[in-house]
Amino acid sequence: MKIMRVEKTLVSTNRIEAFGHRPLLVVQEKAGGARSVAVDAVGCVPGDWVICVGSSAAREAAGSKDFPSDLTIVGIIDHWNPEG
């Protein structure tokens, strides 16, 4: 699992049917780092530090084994110090 920070929401109207209406968020591993898109399974807001799962665990965490996600947010970290 990876510790990432939610940057903003991502709006995509034209998407494949398998994604349904699941919320998508832009996440970063560190400030100024490379961006990824994650499916939000918990309901977080920009600025939250979260834990993300990848690979097949991401599919199951997003709802079903057939969901085509490779990165899913599975938890919001209560307290996180990025420098420590």
Residues that bind other proteins (CB under 8 A): 8-16, 18-19, 23-24, 26, 28, 31-38, 45-47, 55-56, 58-59, 66-71
Check the CA dihedral 26-11-41-54 and report its sign: negative
Q: Over the Cα atoms of the chain, what is R_g?
A: 12
Residue 18 CB, shortest distance to other proteins, in Å, is 6
Q: 32 or 84, CB closer to other proteins?
A: 32
Residue 74 CB, shortest distance to other proteins, in Å, is 15
Residues 42 and 76: their CA atoms lie apart, in Å, by 8
Residues 26 and 35: their CA atoms lie apart, in Å, by 6
10 phi/psi in degrees, rounded to 5 = -120, 125
Residue 78 CB, shortest distance to other proteins, in Å, is 15
Q: 68 or 77, CB closer to other proteins?
A: 68
